[in-house]
């Protein structure tokens, strides 16, 4: 889902992510027998029942919760719409209106997935990584570039310019970008998109296990 970045005790910056895609993946992984931890931002949609549910609010809290668990995980799927910027300072009291315009100063949040990719590259070990990319054009190219930039195994790129896919709807139209190229799936319910993603994750886990065995 989203993260919410507080400006003062009553206001925040957020986004329209519902959490549906992440919850669908968690539900499907759990159904397939995985031990699942959900790290969720504030969502109105009910999360599925899984082994562990960690509720967070901000990008900073999500960063902490994910990093603390990543080393104990086989797979990390980052479906959250993490805020890219957060207020540089949180006002301790409600900000009252004064002038006609108000300037907010924002600072970058930690790139959680990017950090997991960098750590894995540096240490040579770590969980399989799946990221999402919300794009409005050149979905495939952007997805492939993001996969390289973040050093992850799969990028699920979705066209958020469509009204029937992406944020806050039950269906999604995605292109899955992996090492060997990309596959564009038709418009599907998010539960089926989750199954398609996890089919590819399972294949990669089997491949990686075989590679590790061969290198022993």
CB of 102 to ligand C5P, least distance (A): 25
DSSP 11: E
Residue 3 to residue 10: CA distance in whole angstroms: 15
The verdict on 58 binding ligand C5P (CB under 6 A) reads: no
Told to check if 113 binds ligand C5P by CB under 6 A, we report yes
Burial environment of residue 156 by CB neighbours within 10 A (0 to 12, 13 to 18, 19 or more): buried
Is residue 7 close enough to count as binding ligand C5P by CB under 6 A? no
Region of 35-43, 80-88, 162-170, 201-209 interacting with ligand C5P (CB under 6 A)? 80-88
Is residue 141 close enough to count as binding ligand C5P by CB under 6 A? no
111 counts as binding ligand C5P under rule CB under 6 A: yes
Helix axes 59-70 and 112-123, enclosed angle (nearest 10) = 30
- Residue closer to ligand C5P, measured from CB, 16 or 94: 16
Residue 78, interface with ligand C5P (CB under 6 A)? yes
State which residue, 82 or 173, has the beta carbon closest to ligand C5P: 82
For the CB of residue 78, give the shortest distance to ligand C5P in the complex, in Å: 4
144 is an interface residue for ligand C5P by CB under 6 A: no
Which string of DSSP letters, residue by residue, matches 95-156?
A: PPP-SS-----EEEPP-HHHHHHHHHHHHS---EEEEEEEESS-HHHHHHHHHHHHT-SEEE
Q: Which is nearer to ligand C5P, 158 or 191 (CB)?
A: 158
Read off the DSSP letter of residue 33: T
- C-alpha dist (Å) from residue 193 to 35, 120, 139, 199, 201: 20, 26, 16, 10, 12
> Which stretch, 33-41, 125-133, 158-166, 167-175, contacts ligand C5P (CB under 6 A)?
125-133
DSSP helix, strand, coil percent of the chain (3-state; round to 5): 35, 25, 40
Sign of CA dihedral 113, 117, 120, 123: negative
* 132 near ligand C5P, rule: CB under 6 A: yes
Q: How far is the CB of 132 from ligand C5P (least distance, A)?
A: 4
Q: What residues are annotated to the active site? A: 15
| Contact status: 154 vs ligand C5P (CB under 6 A) | no
Q: What does the binding site for ligand C5P look like in residue numbers (CB under 6 A)?
A: 59, 78, 80, 82, 84, 109-113, 131-133, 146
């Amino acid at each position: 889902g989203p993260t919410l970045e507080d400006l003062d005790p009553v206001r925040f910056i957020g986004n329209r992510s519902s959490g549906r895609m992440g919850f669908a993946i968690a539900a499907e992984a759990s159904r397939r027998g995985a031990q699942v931890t959900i790290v969720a931002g504030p969502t109105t949609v009910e999360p599925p029942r899984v082994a562990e549910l960690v509720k967070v609010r901000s990008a900073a809290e999500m960063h902490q919760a994910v990093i603390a668990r990543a080393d104990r995980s086989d797979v990390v799927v980052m479906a959250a719409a993490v805020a890219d910027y957060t207020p540089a300072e949180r006002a301790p009291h409600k900000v009252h209106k004064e002038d006609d315009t108000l300037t907010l100063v924002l600072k970058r949040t930690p790139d959680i997935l990017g950090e997991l990719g960098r750590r894995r590259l540096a240490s040579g070990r770590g969980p399989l990584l799946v990221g999402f990319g919300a794009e409005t054009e050149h979905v495939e190219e952007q997805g492939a570039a993001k996969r390289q930039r973040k050093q992850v195994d799969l990028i699920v790129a979705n066209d958020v310019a469509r009204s029937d896919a992406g944020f806050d709807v039950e269906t999604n139209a995605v292109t899955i970008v992996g090492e060997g190229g990309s596959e564009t799936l038709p418009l599907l319910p998010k539960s089926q998109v989750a199954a398609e993603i996890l089919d590819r994750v399972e294949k990669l886990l089997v491949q990686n296990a075989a590679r590790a065995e061969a290198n022993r």
